[in-house]
């Protein structure tokens, strides 16, 4: 028996050694992870910062001092711009290295190198849409310019100095969990991050869905159900603003539509539940007499956060704000003279073309009456634990062909044998825009900086200490005939090619409008008198609400802007719920339905977390929208559905419209029937999902907000957060998206600023600074930002001083 026990113990010990040293699927070697000298124990950090310490860095031209404040924000003071961006790269990598590199793997289609076979189709998709090719085109332009070349190269060198300083025991925890090591940083990686963001914000399209609508219903229905401009618009540029340019002639519409593609759908389209807000208020409406600028870009919520706070100071600049880890400069922020903030423009800069190939080899395609050769690029996808995969990407002059005849690329939701013309493939240099914005001193230098900006289109709100406020809808826009961009184009007709551009001076803009403020919330940038096509845009409820509030407000203080960013008034619900309630037959409601009806009929249309009515409205809205349109717009083809905004208009103006009839039944349904059946179905769904009405029906409990880890590692995120807000609301918080950075700047002679993002400066889950801002964000509060005019080592909020010396 004793020998048997000894034998079993020996077998168990050997087994543990083998398991501890072996990777099983996605699970890393447990021994490495638990190693007290090299494993995750080495990643635990104290809240207390080392007060003063010195490092020698090879590559610095002069000493640099970094002051680290009580929020772990670095304030970099350098004697020249090379060292400024060198240290920005070094410090950012110190706090966010894994995030930086992981995001570039995602962008370049290299996830399978880390996680294996399950992400091959995603990687193939990224290669097929030409993401790396787009980044290489941008990098070529960046390197040609001496300024952007210097900052990208210096930033890259700083990142690599930090990477070289690490031993395996010091790698961020995610490297240990996924069992791989960081690789050298390159300028291409900086650009890949920029292009990845461009794709997320300006890669969506509804061309094929609209082509399907056109083919089935005709142009009259398209114009009726999908108007180019909303009813009673409230655009970014106020109505009746005179244009300070003579418009270029726009060609008449050509033949549009490509019905052969009707059984497929495009990759994705803009999500109307997302949104961003910004505004700049003239000093004529503020207590201080100086402008106030506010911005809250709404993006995916992740840990580590998409944003990283920093102050950059050298003889040429002193700027504070947030940047994307991996990109030099400050993207949203302020200096001693100006402040700026951005919202996504949402412009349509992706067109799809049906391509006629000569044969299945895809070596030639028909264009302008002749057969032209395609360009073929061989892509190699490395797959962890498996053989490498080779894939061929075919390019036409329009752009790449992401999906071939028999392929299943990613989720298969792109049209086969179609070419993608995407502005993101064109050379550009947005790094130069932000370099100059960081140094802008007035309106003219702000406008000059925007002249370099291409994509993704953004609404750049502006304010300065001289009292000016302005907003430019900035980007590079193809000059297209009307309808060219709404449907799939015939790729053989050169008349459908992008041939010229809207001059940047013609981009929509306004300075110091009479109403005393500028604002944007992703709504249409202009009214119908603007001469050029720009695209589809989100519903205008957030923009209307912001403009309503700001128009009535005077003697404004910064905290008024904070409260407006948190505004949960549901303007859409206030317009549609009253007429819907009148159609509900309360005599036919069950006790449970009556209870739900009472909640929504006494609602104040504020979507706070503790309210039940927002939950009822959210589900009812979706069910009613589906009930109205799913019969005509359903089936085996994918169509764009009329917006809920257009649906509201239909309910109000055409209550007897034939669209309310269900074509799949022998009876003739009415709006009255749809409203009542959808309300009953709403209550049934809520009981099925959340049980009897109670706290679990409250909006914050029902919806919940998840800030997930970027690598989807369980336990490394903050989930189940109970907050208000929602789609179409100024405080546009979704389940996994929302205000990623809230900032308010008072442009007084002594700049004052406040901000918060749902995360923390450190990317290390073992650090107290990893998610230290989340609770403040949930509560709707802001932190005062420490903007130092000079290197004030003795400031009471400075907790640590890092002296960086040149290598001796």
pLDDT at 497 over 90: yes
The two tokens of residue 580 are: 């819907």
Phi, psi (deg, nearest 5) at residue 67: -95, 130
What gap in Å lies between CA 221 and CA 657, rounded to an integer? Answer: 13
Residue 419 pairs in a beta bridge with 353
Whether 20 is in a domain gets the answer no
Question: CATH number for the domain including 467?
Answer: 3.60.20.10
CA 193 to chain CA centroid, nearest Å: 12
Strands 798-806 and 64-69: antiparallel
**Residues 673-684 pLDDT 10s:** 999 999 999 999
- H-assigned helices in 508-570: 541-552, 558-565
In DSSP notation, 323-339 reads E-TTS-S-SEEEESSEE
pLDDT band of 637, cuts 50, 70, 90: confident
Classify 686 as helix, strand or coil. helix
The two tokens of residue 464 are: 């300065």
Question: CATH number for the domain including 649?
Answer: 1.10.1400
pLDDT band of 460, cuts 50, 70, 90: very high
Q: Are 741 and 297 in contact (CB under 8 A)?
A: yes
Q: Is the dihedral of CA 490, 492, 495, 498 positive or negative?
A: positive
Statement to judge: residues 550 and 636 lie in one domain: no
Q: What angle do CA 546, 547, 552 make, to 5 degrees?
A: 105
pTM here? 0.93
pLDDT at 1 over 80: no
What's residue 529's pLDDT?
A: 92
What gap in Å lies between CA 750 and CA 466, rounded to an integer? Answer: 13
Statement to judge: residues 232 and 200 lie in one domain: yes
Q: Of 679, 698, 717, which residue constitutes the final position of a domain?
A: 698
The two tokens of residue 807 are: 């290598």
Strands 350-354 and 489-490: parallel
Classify 283 as helix, strand or coil. helix
pLDDT band of 400, cuts 50, 70, 90: very high
pLDDT band of 28, cuts 50, 70, 90: low
Statement to judge: residues 576 and 520 lie in one domain: no
What gap in Å lies between CA 675 and CA 224, rounded to an integer? Answer: 22
What's residue 401's pLDDT?
A: 96
**Mean pLDDT for the chain overall:** 92
Strands 317-323 and 332-335: antiparallel
The mean per-residue pLDDT over the stretch 122-136 comes to 96
Statement to judge: residues 746 and 655 lie in one domain: no
Whether 730 is in a domain gets the answer no
Q: Are 184 and 163 in contact (CB under 8 A)?
A: yes
Whether 28 is in a domain gets the answer no
What gap in Å lies between CA 41 and CA 794, rounded to an integer? Answer: 34
The two tokens of residue 284 are: 């004529």
Strands 302-303 and 705-709: parallel
DSSP state of 96: H
Q: Please state whether 329 falls in left (phi above 0), alpha (psi between -120 and 50) or beta.
A: left
What gap in Å lies between CA 340 and CA 327, rounded to an integer? Answer: 18
**Residues 240-278 pLDDT 10s:** 999 999 999 887 666 655 555 455 545 555 555 557 999
Statement to judge: residues 267 and 331 lie in one domain: yes
Q: Are 347 and 502 in contact (CB under 8 A)?
A: no
Statement to judge: residues 513 and 597 lie in one domain: no
Statement to judge: residues 304 and 209 lie in one domain: yes
**Residues 272-327 pLDDT 10s:** 555 799 999 999 999 999 999 999 999 999 999 999 999 999 999 999 999 999 99
The mean per-residue pLDDT over the stretch 99-128 comes to 96
What's residue 393's pLDDT?
A: 96
Report the share of the chain in percent with pLDDT over 70.
90
What's residue 127's pLDDT?
A: 96
Whether 765 is in a domain gets the answer yes
Q: Are 530 and 477 in contact (CB under 8 A)?
A: no
Statement to judge: residues 194 and 270 lie in one domain: yes
What gap in Å lies between CA 667 and CA 648, rounded to an integer? Answer: 24
pLDDT at 638 over 80: yes
- H-assigned helices in 639-788: 644-653, 671-690, 699-703, 774-778
3-state secondary structure 684-741: HHHHHHHCCCCHHHCHHHHHCEEEEECCCCCCCCEEEECCCCCCCCCCCCCCCEEECC
pLDDT at 5 over 50: no
Whether 135 is in a domain gets the answer yes
| Nearest one of 348, 341, 410, 327 to 202, comparing CA atoms | 348
Statement to judge: residues 761 and 666 lie in one domain: no
Classify 236 as helix, strand or coil. coil
How far, CA to CA in Å, does 627 sit from each of 269, 600, 671? 22, 20, 10
The mean per-residue pLDDT over the stretch 105-117 comes to 97
What gap in Å lies between CA 195 and CA 202, rounded to an integer? Answer: 10
Q: Of 698, 718, 747, which residue constitutes the final position of a domain?
A: 698
**Residues 724-771 pLDDT 10s:** 999 999 999 999 999 999 999 999 999 999 999 999 999 999 999 999
The mean per-residue pLDDT over the stretch 408-435 comes to 85
What gap in Å lies between CA 158 and CA 445, rounded to an integer? Answer: 29
pLDDT band of 11, cuts 50, 70, 90: very low
Q: Of 671, 698, 725, which residue constitutes the final position of a domain?
A: 698
pLDDT at 231 over 60: yes
Whether 30 is in a domain gets the answer no
pLDDT at 519 over 90: yes
Residue 625 contacts by C-beta under 8 Å, 6 or more apart in sequence?
641, 644, 647
Range of the domain at 477: 35-497+505-527+537-568+739-808
Statement to judge: residues 771 and 693 lie in one domain: no
pLDDT at 224 over 80: yes
pLDDT at 504 over 70: yes
Whether 715 is in a domain gets the answer no
- H-assigned helices in 240-316: none
3-state secondary structure 417-485: CEEEEEHHHCCCCHHHHHHHHHHCCCHHHHHHHHCCCCCCCEEEEEEECCCCEEEEEECCCECCCCCCC
Statement to judge: residues 523 and 640 lie in one domain: no
**Residues 138-195 pLDDT 10s:** 999 999 999 999 999 999 999 999 999 999 999 999 999 999 999 999 999 999 999 9
Instruction: Please count the structural domains in the chain.
Output: 2
The two tokens of residue 396 are: 């036409």
Whether 7 is in a domain gets the answer no
What gap in Å lies between CA 546 and CA 120, rounded to an integer? Answer: 44
Statement to judge: residues 510 and 593 lie in one domain: no
What's residue 537's pLDDT?
A: 80
């Amino acid at each position: 028996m004793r020998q048997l026990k000894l034998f079993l113990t020996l077998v168990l010990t050997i087994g543990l050694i083998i398991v501890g040293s072996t990777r099983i699927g996605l699970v890393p070697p447990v021994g490495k992870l638990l190693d007290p000298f090299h494993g995750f124990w080495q990643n635990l950090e104290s809240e207390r910062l080392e007060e003063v310490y010195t490092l020698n860095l090879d590559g610095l031209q002069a000493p640099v001092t970094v002051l680290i404040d009580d929020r772990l924000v670095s304030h970099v003071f350098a004697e020249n711009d090379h060292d400024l961006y060198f240290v920005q790269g070094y410090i950012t990598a110190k706090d966010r290295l894994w995030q930086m590199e992981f995001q570039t793997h995602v962008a370049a289609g290299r996830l399978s190198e880390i996680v294996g076979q399950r992400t091959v189709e995603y990687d193939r998709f990224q290669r097929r849409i030409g993401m790396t090719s787009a980044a290489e085109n941008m990098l070529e332009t960046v390197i040609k310019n001496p300024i952007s070349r210097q900052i990208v190269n210096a930033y890259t060198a700083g990142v690599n100095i930090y990477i070289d300083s690490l031993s395996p025991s010091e790698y961020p925890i995610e490297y240990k969990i996924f069992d791989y090591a960081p690789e050298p940083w390159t300028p291409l990686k900086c650009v890949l991050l920029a292009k990845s963001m461009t794709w997320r914000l300006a890669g969506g399209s509804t061309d094929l869905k609209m082509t399907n609508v056109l083919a089935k219903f005709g142009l009259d229905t398209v114009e009726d159900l999908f108007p180019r401009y909303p009813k009673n618009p409230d655009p970014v540029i106020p109505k009746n603003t005179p244009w300070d340019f003579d418009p270029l002639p726009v060609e008449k519409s050509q033949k549009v539509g490509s019905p052969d593609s009707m059984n497929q759908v495009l990759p994705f389209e803009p999500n109307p539940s997302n949104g961003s807000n910004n505004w700049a208020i003239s000093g004529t409406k503020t207590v201080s007499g100086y402008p106030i600028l506010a911005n809250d870009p709404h993006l995916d919520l992740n840990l580590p956060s998409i944003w990283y706070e920093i102050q950059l100071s050298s003889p040429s600049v002193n700027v504070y704000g947030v940047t994307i880890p991996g990109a030099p400069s400050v993207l949203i922020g302020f200096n001693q003279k100006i402040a700026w903030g951005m919202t996504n423009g949402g412009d349509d800069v992706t067109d799809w073309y049906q391509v006629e190939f000569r044969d299945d080899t895809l070596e030639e395609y028909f264009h302008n009456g002749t057969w032209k050769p395609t360009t073929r690029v061989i892509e190699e996808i490395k797959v962890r634990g498996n053989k490498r995969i080779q894939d061929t990407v075919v390019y036409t002059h329009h752009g790449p062909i992401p999906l071939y005849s028999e392929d299943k690329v990613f989720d298969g939701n792109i049209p086969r044998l179609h070419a993608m013309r995407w502005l993101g493939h064109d050379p550009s240099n947005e790094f130069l825009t932000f370099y100059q914005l960081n140094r802008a001193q007035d309106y003219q230098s702000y406008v000059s900086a925007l002249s370099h900006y291409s994509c993704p289109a953004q609404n750049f709100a502006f304010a300065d200490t001289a009292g000016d406020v302005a907003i430019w809808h900035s980007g590079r826009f193809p000059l297209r005939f009307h309808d060219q961009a709404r449907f799939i184009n015939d790729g053989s007709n050169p008349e459908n090619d992008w041939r010229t551009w809207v001059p940047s001076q013609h981009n929509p803009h306004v300075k110091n409008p009479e109403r005393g403020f500028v604002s944007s919330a992703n709504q249409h940038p202009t009214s119908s008198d603007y001469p050029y096509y720009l695209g589809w845009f989100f519903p205008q409820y957030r923009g209307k609400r912001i403009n309503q509030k700001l128009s009535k407000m005077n003697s404004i203080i910064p905290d008024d802007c904070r409260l407006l960013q948190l505004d949960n008034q549901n303007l859409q619900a206030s317009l549609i719920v009253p007429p819907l309630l009148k159609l509900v037959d309360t005599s036919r409601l069950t006790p449970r339905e009556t209870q739900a009806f009472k909640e929504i009929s006494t609602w104040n249309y504020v979507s706070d977390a503790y309210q039940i009515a927002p939950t009822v409205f959210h589900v009812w809205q979706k069910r009613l929208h589906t009930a109205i349109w799913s019969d005509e717009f359903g089936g085996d083809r994918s169509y764009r559905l009329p917006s809920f905004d257009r649906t509201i208009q239909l309910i109000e103006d055409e209550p007897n419209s034939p669209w309310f009839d269900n074509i799949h039944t022998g009876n003739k349904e009415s709006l009255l029937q749809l409203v009542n059946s959808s309300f009953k179905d709403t209550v049934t769904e809520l009981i099925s999902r959340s049980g009897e009405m109670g706290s679990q029906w409250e909006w914050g409990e029902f919806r919940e907000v998840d800030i997930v880890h970027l690598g989807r590692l369980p336990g490394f995120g903050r989930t189940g957060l109970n907050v208000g807000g929602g789609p179409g609301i100024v405080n546009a918080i979704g389940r996994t998206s929302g205000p990623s950075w809230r900032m308010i700047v008072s442009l007084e002679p002594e700049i004052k600023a406040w901000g918060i993002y749902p995360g923390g400066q450190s990317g290390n889950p073992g650090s107290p600074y990893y998610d230290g801002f989340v609770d403040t964000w949930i509560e709707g509060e802001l932190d005062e930002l420490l903007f130092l005019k000079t290197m004030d080592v003795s400031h009471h909020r400075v907790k640590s001083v890092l002296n960086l010396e040149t290598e001796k």
